[in-house]
Amino acid sequence: MKKPNHKYIFVIGGVMSGVGKGIAVSSIGTLLTAKGYKVNLVKVDPYLNVDAGTMHPTEHGEVFVLNSGLETDQDMGNYERFLGRDLAPDDYITSGMVYKHVIDKERALEFGGKCVDAKQIRDEIVHRLEHAAKVNKSDISIIEIGGTIGDYQNVMFMEAARVFKTYHSSDVIFMMVSYLPTPGSIGEMKTRPTQNAERQLASYGINTDFIIGRASTPIDKKRKEKIASACNIRPERVISAPDIKSIYDVPVNFEKDHLAEQLLEALDLPRTKTNDSFKAWTKMAQGIKSDKGKQVHIGVVGKYFNSGDFILSDAYLSVLEAIKFSAYAVGVKPIIHTVNSRDFEEKNIDYSTLDQYDGIIVPGGFGETGIEGKLNVIRYARERNIPYFGLCYGMQLMVIEYARNVLGLAGAHTDEINPKSPHLVIDIMPDQKKKLAEGNYGGSMRLGLYPAKLTKDSIAQEAYSYFAGKKLPKATTVIKERHRHRYEVNQKYIERLEKGGLVFSGKSPDGTLMEIAELPRSVHPFFLGTQFHPEFMARPLAPHPLFTEFMKAAKAMMVF
């Protein structure tokens, strides 16, 4: 039988943002993968930043790093977690990337004297979408266009999507993820905004084939029919997506509505059976939302929580998800508390509030704000035997705290905050110094996958006997993890720190860069930090071994 053509599903947001378009896309990815198809998910972001790396986390949420080192939108993290595989840098496109490429080409005379305008931008987008499909060697691409219909910022992408259909005709379908409000004063779900969004979409020359209707409650038959008739689609292609407790339930709900089968039918692909991997997913989704299991309280200490009157957890999204996966793996119910590091900088600090936590995490970060507070919390966790897990900055600060309070190196610090410190236990990497001096900030950190050699008989080595869903042979002592930093443990202090009891249980293969620091179990139940970001590799069906080890230690805390 002839192999079917590559298929494309464009997903566009209607009515308003923030209704879970990324989760819908991810969930369809889970389902089509479970049907035996290879899927790649593409995020198209309208902003002019060339990548997400230069945006503040309270502005745009977490910066998610791919294996390649590309700094992307947090949706890419959800995509990888729902697909259970790594994505390529080609799966992430920003307007900035596209414009920069086209303008650089124009400056290099590569358009042969032609007038360069919006058409070249559109064609470059089309080219990138086709290329992403090839690089992934996938059967189906699902492309999420960031923003909402009507935004002037994403018009180029709408035009690219329209023309894409003319090139690939029946191999392309469109889906609109819309919102159906139920205003309190009326008490009735309204379909009009969705109908209007569809009209607006039609004005771009695009007609949708499916509508996912996000709402607080399920959409009834009458409204499905109303939307279907107004939008020229079959009623069964209006999919109800009510609010639910856990995002991992979305694929399970879509499967109940036979969404994947309908998509395969619309794409003229064989309607294969859902394979067994989906059983494991369903079980996990059930487990993660369940209230059963002992409660384990985890404090996540950060400074990116406050955004106006809202508490934002988006800045640490992958960390929070990684905790959930490992909690499920060790059979406990995680209760995650956001702890503002600035609260631990005042004069009369009440540390007793930290006693309620079975484990404390200091995630990644930049700059000076809240740092002394974090150092105070780390000291408390070390002295009170509260399991502590430091991620990137959290590891650097753990080394500073140890240097100050155990080795007695007063004023020990990181070059990032106090270059004049008498003990720069954390220093800038030499190549990074050059980049900062040149004002080269974009995509210039130590980014993406780098190997680390694990130290024999360490907690890290014990934990990593199982990684990325695979049992590693005992002899395997090299792991690869994703990085995003400019500073490192200063080599001049390594010997002193080691003599003082800190174990560097993961080092770059040449032995120069410290990738993991820990205290032996005989001294502390769990006091470990990583220079890399383990949270980026944590997957629902393959929890990260270090998070799992941390959760085990936190679980053990409850016993006492």
Chain residues that interact with ligand GLN, rule: CB under 6 A: 364-366, 392-393, 416, 484-487
Catalytic residue among 62, 80, 321, 392: 392
Nearer to ligand GLN, 333 or 484 (CB): 484
User: Which of 15, 348, 322 lies closest to 177, judged by CA?
Assistant: 15
Show Cβ contacts of residue 353 under 8 Å, excluding neighbours closer than 6 positions.
none
Nearer to ligand GLN, 72 or 262 (CB): 72
Q: Tokens 């002394």 label which residue?
A: 372
Angle at 57 between CA 21 and CA 536, to 5 degrees: 70
The question of whether 535 is a catalytic residue gets the answer yes
Could you give the CA distance from residue 17 to residue 149 in angstroms, rounded to a whole number?
A: 9
Nearer to ligand GLN, 8 or 493 (CB): 493
Could you give the CA distance from residue 438 to residue 455 in angstroms, rounded to a whole number?
A: 37
Instruction: Give the nearest distance from C-beta 367 to ligand GLN in angstroms.
Output: 7
Strand partners, 238: 211
Could you give the CA distance from residue 323 to residue 338 in angstroms, rounded to a whole number?
A: 13
Instruction: Give the nearest distance from C-beta 53 to ligand GLN in angstroms.
Output: 11
Nearer to ligand GLN, 316 or 487 (CB): 487
Catalytic residue among 62, 533, 544, 549: 533
Strand partners, 241: 214
Could you give the CA distance from residue 519 to residue 529 in angstroms, rounded to a whole number?
A: 10
Instruction: Give the nearest distance from C-beta 398 to ligand GLN in angstroms.
Output: 12
User: Which of 200, 269, 253 lies closest to 12, judged by CA?
Assistant: 200
Nearer to ligand GLN, 14 or 53 (CB): 53
Could you give the CA distance from residue 441 to residue 488 in angstroms, rounded to a whole number?
A: 17
In 3-state terms the chain splits into helix, strand, coil percentages (rounded to 5) of 40, 20, 35
Q: Which residue is at the shortest CB distance from ligand GLN?
A: 364
Nearer to ligand GLN, 333 or 507 (CB): 507
Nearer to ligand GLN, 154 or 341 (CB): 341
CB-neighbour burial class of residue 473 (10 A; exposed 0-12, middle 13-18, buried 19+): exposed
Q: Tokens 């190549």 label which residue?
A: 431
Could you give the CA distance from residue 448 to residue 533 in angstroms, rounded to a whole number?
A: 10
Cα torsion angle, 182, 185, 188, 190, sign: negative
Nearer to ligand GLN, 82 or 487 (CB): 487
The question of whether 231 is a catalytic residue gets the answer no
The first and second tokens of residue 108, run together, are 């290099």
Could you give the CA distance from residue 493 to residue 500 in angstroms, rounded to a whole number?
A: 10
Could you give the CA distance from residue 123 to residue 129 in angstroms, rounded to a whole number?
A: 10
Strands annotated E in 348-397: 359-362, 388-391
Catalytic residue among 144, 255, 488, 535: 535
Instruction: Give the nearest distance from C-beta 75 to ligand GLN in angstroms.
Output: 19
Nearer to ligand GLN, 100 or 433 (CB): 433
Nearer to ligand GLN, 21 or 485 (CB): 485
Alpha helices (H) along 39-112: 57-60, 74-83, 95-107
Instruction: Give the nearest distance from C-beta 396 to ligand GLN in angstroms.
Output: 6
Strand partners, 8: 141, 172
Instruction: Give the nearest distance from C-beta 463 to ligand GLN in angstroms.
Output: 21
Show Cβ contacts of residue 83 under 8 Å, excluding neighbours closer than 6 positions.
26, 29, 30, 33, 39, 41
| 59 C-beta neighbours (distance < 10 Å), count | 11
Instruction: Give the nearest distance from C-beta 318 to ligand GLN in angstroms.
Output: 12
Instruction: Give the nearest distance from C-beta 308 to ligand GLN in angstroms.
Output: 24
Instruction: Give the nearest distance from C-beta 365 to ligand GLN in angstroms.
Output: 5
Instruction: Give the nearest distance from C-beta 552 to ligand GLN in angstroms.
Output: 24
The question of whether 127 is a catalytic residue gets the answer no
Could you give the CA distance from residue 517 to residue 457 in angstroms, rounded to a whole number?
A: 13
Q: Tokens 């109908």 label which residue?
A: 195
Q: Is the separation of the CB atoms in 12 and 139 below 8 Å? A: no
- Catalytic residue annotation: 392, 533, 535
